[in-house]
Amino acid sequence: MGAYTWTHVRIDKLNKEQIEKCINHAKMLAKGTSYENYSNMAWNDALKSWIDFHNKERDYFINVCGLTEEKLSTEFLTRKLKRELSQHKLKLKCYDMCLSGEMSIKEMLKKTHQFKYGDFIILKRKGQHYIDIRTEIFRNYEYCEDEFTTVDSLINHCRNCKNEQFLDYSKNDCEYEKWSQELEDKVRKYYTEIGDNNFIVTFG
């Protein structure tokens, strides 16, 4: 399938547009979950559907997922659904507060306990958190294990890639091409605006 370009930006260096894209993508993910469906149902109906699902898939949960009988009891499942729905509603509320400027993305991640796992892809390096901004200006098809944190290191790596392995997403009919001065200028301008050490770029 080939590699993609992934850009993570330090969360305290995100601009307004990047924040909006991150949050809107997270909202889309959250609203596509079963918890969104359950939250729009009457409690008794949601609970019945939740318990029926776990009963129907009991063998899978025990034999594949390793759940105990206790964790499939009505009492445990009831507490878990209440907890998950509360967390789901809190996330959506905090997402909207981020979009309105009432809460920073860092405050939101802390309040919703999503620094390690959740609706965002986050890297932690040297005590700083970097978040995947969900949009890219180019693709490099070739895998690389290195992480690039400066404009020059990123460009020097791309210059050494000799094949037709780049897509320029700013073009309407983009096709794979070799690294070019035109693409280099776009990449340099884009990442210079973010700033050295304010981003992590990977190809994977």
pLDDT at 26: 96
Cα torsion through 89, 91, 97, 102, rounded to 10: 120
Q: Are 84 and 35 in contact (CB under 8 A)?
A: yes
Q: What is the pTM of this model?
A: 0.88
Q: Are 177 and 166 in contact (CB under 8 A)?
A: yes
Q: What does the pLDDT look like over 115-166, one tens digit per residue? A: 988 999 999 999 999 999 999 999 999 999 999 999 999 999 999 999 999 9
What's the rounded Cα separation, in Å, for the pair 25 and 174?
Answer: 24
